[in-house]
Structure 1
């Protein structure tokens, strides 16, 4: 009998969320554990494994599961390892796919990085259905990307290709990035980057702003969004700056892979047109003539709370049994 379900696991720095998913992309049974609570990887695997057994039992047992997909920071599709992830409690290389498979009695498990999982989710259930060439950009704490060319995710020879968040946008006096380099797109265009821009603007500018009522060290991208929605001029300029930077980068990405669409995903996309309009203007202004008007700019169609689990689960349909 055909196995009707897969399991998706999304590992974040704070929470690990997992669920059983059917072929239409409906999450049937879901649960979560706190990632940071388990400093020993074996304790984590036991807690996650027990949680997985619980949702799998609700779905009718392991014989109903085709496979399990995991999306994780620094996840390497080729070897099923999480490698040197800065925001997770375990150091070095963790053979997580194998550990989970062993704990669950040999169910097939595949693992990839979180942005690649988002791209697979868009292709399987979301805005990229039917597309063979597209890029998903995740705008969250960092800037991630999943690149699909000819219907295949780009992994490179080592499993880590496609780190578009670490394309250097400003070579001279660029902002320090968490990766150790300077001037990366992520340092400007992530949710964290928007908050950094706000602090810089408040420091060097004198104009009035609702943001001046807040403690600068506590400002978040949501505060900037709230102020912009009230028409705050400085907050609107911060989104203009962020959108300009993304549009410049996207024009370069189009020159590289000529995607049918660039799909934006993640917390920062809640800003909607505040972000989309400056991105479009900047992208058009910087686009090579041969590519003008050829690439659509879309927001993800997956509900954010479900998307990471759905993306990871899509890997489960592909696993070799």
Structure 2
């Protein structure tokens, strides 16, 4: 088999990114479309086909990898995604194969990110690790003995919806107190606004509306010594670290990688998270020196590389591609 290109598609609540990449992780071409413009996934896929063919010929493409929220790897379906306009069960992979005439592998977007880390990032020589995608929400991909954990029904690894507080913040999934309501771009914004209400300290964040507040703004404020911003990161890092101590017991990973907007805060988030992970870790694991570090993938490239890595892992690999 000589084909050396793969299409990677990452479906987000606002934008969907897509591109064509080679086996070495070079992105040949990429673009994006607005997800919310498409009320059904059939028109969405038809538009993707036109857009991708305008970017680059697909004659040498071996297959298509798709990362999406609430995706079922076994069935190739997207099931009631909270942030997408398509409700019910979308037979997405089947429709992609019909429209493109290429094999399609579909998985949760965070699982795709974990595969991308293994194929292109810092986990190239690792068999046991966890990737957390901390953007608007919190997704996770768990790799054990070199394989992504999917579970019996295809939905394993939803660490963002593990419990922090039974009577905690309302989550889009319908539960209360989920981890992603505290540790995510949305979560830290909620924390900032609670701190602004609880304390009277001056803060450059007071003049910013909730909708305009971003992780970048909070990070910049923390770098300038803003007390509210610093406390928001300490709180977020404490919650994350406590939950990471649980994740370590479950999977005994060599490393945990953070990918996404919140990870760009650097030491503001990594230091309290590492400290609290070690503080609450079962003593048996303390000498294992679990690494907590930023992803080795560039944020702009990660969604496409993560999705395209599905092709190399599951299609090219099974066909003997080197």
TM-score (norm 2): 0.94
| 1:229-244 equivalences in 2 (<5 Å) | 229-244=223-238
In 1, Cα distance between the equivalents of 2:48 and 2:10? 11
Query: How far does residue 218 in structure 1 lie from its aligned partner after superposition?
Result: 4.0
Q: Aligned-pair distance for 1:220?
A: 2.8
**Partners of 1:53 and 1:104 within 8 A in 2:** no
| Counterpart position of 1:77 | 73
Partner of 1:224: 218
1:199 CA drift (Å): 0.6
4+ residue runs over 3 A deviation = 215-218
Shift of 1:122: 0.1
2:43 corresponds to which residue? 43
State the alpha-carbon separation in 1 of the partners of residues 209 and 11 from structure 2: 31
Matching residue within 152, 158, 162 for 2:157? 162
Shift of 1:18: 1.1
Q: Is it true that 1:185 corresponds to 2:179 in the alignment? A: yes
How far apart are 1:217 and its partner, in Å?
Answer: 5.7
What's the TM-score, normalizing by structure 1?
A: 0.95
Counterpart contact for 1:139–1:268, Cα < 8 Å: yes
Q: Deviations over 1:124-153 (max 9, x none)?
A: 000111110000011100010000011110
SS in 2 for 1:213: coil
2:63 aligns to what? 67
Give the number of equivalent residue pairs: 315
Q: Which ranges of structure 2 fall in alignment gaps of 5 or more residues? A: none
- Give the Cα separation in 2 of the matches to 1:68 and 1:194: 34
Q: What residue is the counterpart of 1:145 in the other structure?
A: 140
RMSD between aligned residues: 1.4
Matched, 1:304 2:291: no
